[in-house]
Amino acid sequence: MRKIIHIDMDCFYAAVEMRDNPALREVPLAIGGAAERRGVISTCNYVARRFGVRSAMPSGLAKKLCPPLVLLPGRMALYQETSRQLRAIFLRYTDLVEPLSLDEAYLDVTQSRCCGGSATLMAAEIRHAIASELGLTASAGVAPNKFLAKLASEQRKPDGLFVINPDQVEAFVRPLPLAKLPGIGRKTAERLASLGLYLCDDVRALPRAELIARFGKLGEMLAERIWGLDDHPVQAQRVRKTIGVETTLACDLLDEQACRQVLRDLIPELERRFLPRYGREQLMGQGIKLKFADFQQTTVYRRGSYQPERFHLLLHEGLGRMADKPIRLLGLVVGLPQEGEINQLSLMLEPADLSPLS
């Protein structure tokens, strides 16, 4: 039985800015790109959230919802340094720390002897250290696995602690809405609801084989999560699988030739990011992401050796999927070599891998 802690900082970037400038604490505040340059909100404080402002929202829409919104461009170097300070606190309790982002991490404290081995006391101490040493607040979840720990940390946000003991898993999971499960988006939740499936308890009546037959990989995941199961270990060293670059366009583009010019501008930036460490022949594939004016998006990925000109073929295919839709964002990605994986240097385009760019 594992003891997992999930730490999630509260509106991290905004919280750092409010800490350093107390005058910002009582005003609606967001970190993101400028509205006139079609920026997107990265995060916002809880004052702004009361107006309906949310992460990933276009800055222009955020300003309409909240005219007094203070919008800052952010100071990434400061956030990264603060994240390193957070990690130093985590490492006092365990070496098994898996960062998910600058402001979020899993800790496996199963073997830790801190606080008499109590994961709950460790989580409380960590939150206190973050508050006293960094002047920030964090929410924490404690549970027997990663899946439940992450859900637990959401129960008392902001600035709270929630514990799911092993004997409480059943009571916690049964009434849990399926839409709360990681990997269940709005459309998938609607599909499940159309079948009369709203809660984890609703799905438990279906045999595992039927779930997999109906929903494929989603069914495999559901068959585990509806019982509160998750055997994924905390990975202290996460392997980076891709490097990417993207840009939100100053104005929507309909013309493929104009998109090709954007590609020509992005490719050197992408190569600047991967060439110092990886040779072109080492890469395992490349892909393109297109986000349209209605915020729908499509991703096309091909395995094989890196060829810059291939991005133009991927662009043409991506545009063909969403005919006549204006494009607001264009991104490129390359797949990095993984241990034990050999690039066959194939020049043939293989079937698309539609996994999200990351």
Note whether residue 352 is domain-resident. Answer: no
Cis peptide before 158 (omega within 30 of 0): yes
Token pair belonging to 270: 């992408």
- Whole-prediction pTM value? 0.75
d(CA 91, CA 217): 35
Same domain? 160 vs 107: yes
What is the pLDDT at residue 339? Answer: 55
CA 179 to chain centre: 16
Helix (H, G, I), strand (E, B) or coil at 43: strand
The CATH number assigned to the domain holding 18 equals: 3.40.1170.60
The CATH number assigned to the domain holding 297 equals: 3.30.1490.100
Position 356 pLDDT exceeds 50? no
d(CA 156, CA 123): 13
Domain that holds residue 103: 4-9+77-168
What is the pLDDT at residue 53? Answer: 97
Note whether residue 290 is domain-resident. Answer: yes
* Span 288-330, pLDDT tens digits: 999 988 888 889 999 988 999 999 999 999 888 876 788 988 9
CA dist list (Å): 57 to 60, 61, 184, 252: 8, 7, 20, 17
Same domain? 256 vs 328: yes
Please tell me whether 10 is known to bind a ligand.
no
Same domain? 149 vs 185: no
Note whether residue 63 is domain-resident. Answer: yes
Position 226 pLDDT exceeds 90? yes
The CATH number assigned to the domain holding 198 equals: 1.10.150.20
Same domain? 81 vs 27: no
Token pair belonging to 216: 């494929």
What is the pLDDT at residue 357? Answer: 32
Note whether residue 351 is domain-resident. Answer: no
Report the pLDDT averaged over residues 81-92: 95
Q: Which residues are catalytic?
A: 104
Note whether residue 233 is domain-resident. Answer: no
Q: Confidence class of residue 337 from pLDDT cuts 50, 70 and 90?
A: confident
Number of domains in the chain: 4
Same domain? 133 vs 146: yes
What is the pLDDT at residue 341? Answer: 44
Terminal CA-CA length for the chain: 31
Please tell me whether 201 is known to bind a ligand.
no
Position 351 pLDDT exceeds 70? no
Note whether residue 184 is domain-resident. Answer: yes
